[in-house]
Amino acid sequence: SGKWAKAEAILRELEDKCGAPTAKLRQVADAMTVEMHAGLASEGGSKLKMLISYVDNLPTGDETGLFYALDLGGTNFRVMRVQLGGKEGVIKQESEEVSIPPHLMVGSSHELFDFIATALAKFVATEGEDFHLPAGKQRELGFTFSFPVRQLSLASGTLIKWTKGFLIEDAVGEDVVEELTKAMERVNLDMRVAALVNDTVGTLAGGKYSNPDVIAAVILGTGSNAAYIERAHAIPKWQGLLPKTGEMVINMEWGNFRSSHLPLTEYDISLDAESLNPGEQIFEKLVSGMYLGEIVRRVLCRMVEEASFFGDTIPPKLKIPFILRTPDMSAMHHDSSSDLKVVGSKLKDILEVPNSSLKMRKMIVELCDIVTSRGARLAAAGILGILKKIGRDTLKEGDNQKSVIALDGGLFEHYTEFRNCMSSTLKELLGEVAEYIVIELANDGSGIGAALLAASHSQYI
């Protein structure tokens, strides 16, 4: 009937607009490389901030002692403690996850940091005998804060802007270490912030600790970002002394990348316009977990409005932004039952569509596939951009050094179709070089990484 033809046409148009063939991905990768150069050349030189992390020394493996880590950057935050044993590695670790009440994500800085400090103090109070803090020493913390920060040193930095659904205006421009330190004092927690790191930088540090071939880290979770090891002399905007190692970790803030080569649709444009941060984080809005489900919802809205996809009534729930979460999208996408019963039950539970035909369900799976493939292929192009920047995208005579990229984030970890599509796209882009490029899941490497950086920048060494 006309209804199905119209729905089908909307899907085909989407597929066409989301298309990211190899040639286009190469243009995206090249644009990424160009912007990386521009961002390194001067402050404000590019949409890519290419932030200097002040990490010029990655963990050696000699770190010892008790260290804490705190990870703030999405819907949950984590507290962690590790006992590092030098060559023996991590002797013991414990962590706890606390979800952030949504009102605190858009409230005041004071309230957010009080909440965090309180949770941290509670966690410290449960420290057992397996952890050892030498008498008279202060506890030290690696603070993973996954928002764009202009670092002033390894242990201080001002917040440039919020992303990923956070918006706390009085914190912008403030030193987040100072904010945390003041909150810890308010709850009588005696702890020193030894390192402030982005989650990408923490993941890179943690990844390199377990595999020395790690050269970059990519996060695909609520948001998306990447960090990599750059040669210090390739950072023209760096005014300070050249580090002894000759290297510096750069937090790209690649979520804010944009280029005319990105395949944007009407759905992306309206999603962006109605977001908390219009005009910002365009790449992130195409590839990350916070947004994939929302893009699907927007396409479904149009299919319902213009093609009566669910019959004559428009399910009111479908009108609620962000109601379709990426984990639910992923569950539908992975439905392997012959009657797609997972899709059916998700439609029922989330959108209150009581009856759905197999034909509808199949189209929804296809819709998920189109949106996810685009995201995964663009993420692969971003990785190619990094490899190009550091000259690891081609083979060199007599050099068969492996390049390992540490990957973390719930999207990459749990969304198998996304992960597989990203890997196969990377192979497609790299050709014979692919065998030297390894993607390694660094599950929560950023916590250990932050603790290691706190250890190597302890006040006691």
Reply yes or no on whether 186 is catalytic.
Answer: no
Minimum Å distance from CB 290 to ligand ADP? 6
Q: Which does 415 bind (CB under 5 to 8 A by kind): Mg ion, ligand ADP, none?
A: ligand ADP
Strands 403-408 and 224-231: unpaired
Q: Which residues bind ligand ADP (CB under 6 A)?
A: 73-75, 221-223, 289-290, 326-327, 330, 409-411, 414-415
List 199, 268, 328, 444, catalytic entry: 199
The smaller minimum CB distance to ligand ADP, of residues 227 and 411, is found at: 411
Reply yes or no on whether 328 is catalytic.
Answer: no
d(C-alpha 213, C-alpha 62), whole Å: 18
**Paired tokens of 314:** 């428009």
CB 261 within 8 A of CB 184: no
CB 298 within 8 A of CB 10: no
Q: What angle do CA 404, 421, 207 make, to 5 degrees?
A: 20
Q: Which does 410 bind (CB under 5 to 8 A by kind): Mg ion, ligand ADP, none?
A: ligand ADP
Stretch of residues binding Mg ion (CB under 5 A), selected from 24-32, 157-165, 197-205, 389-397:
197-205
The smaller minimum CB distance to Mg ion, of residues 200 and 356, is found at: 200
d(C-alpha 435, C-alpha 211), whole Å: 17
d(C-alpha 176, C-alpha 154), whole Å: 12
Kindly determine how many residues on this chain lie close enough to bind Mg ion according to the rule CB under 5 A.
3
**Paired tokens of 242:** 């050249």
Reply yes or no on whether 146 is catalytic.
Answer: yes
Minimum Å distance from CB 203 to Mg ion? 9
d(C-alpha 225, C-alpha 252), whole Å: 7
Minimum Å distance from CB 40 to ligand ADP? 26
d(C-alpha 331, C-alpha 7), whole Å: 22
Q: Which does 198 bind (CB under 5 to 8 A by kind): Mg ion, ligand ADP, none?
A: none
d(C-alpha 316, C-alpha 381), whole Å: 37
54: left (phi over 0), alpha (psi -120 to 50) or beta: left
List 56, 78, 224, 403, catalytic entry: 78
Minimum Å distance from CB 340 to ligand ADP? 17
Minimum Å distance from CB 80 to Mg ion? 12
Of 288, 261, 284, 374, nearest to 34 by C-alpha is 261
The smaller minimum CB distance to ligand ADP, of residues 73 and 315, is found at: 73
List 146, 288, 356, 403, catalytic entry: 146
Binding track over 220-239 against Mg ion, x by CB under 5 A: -x------------------
Catalytic residue numbers, as ranges: 78, 146, 199
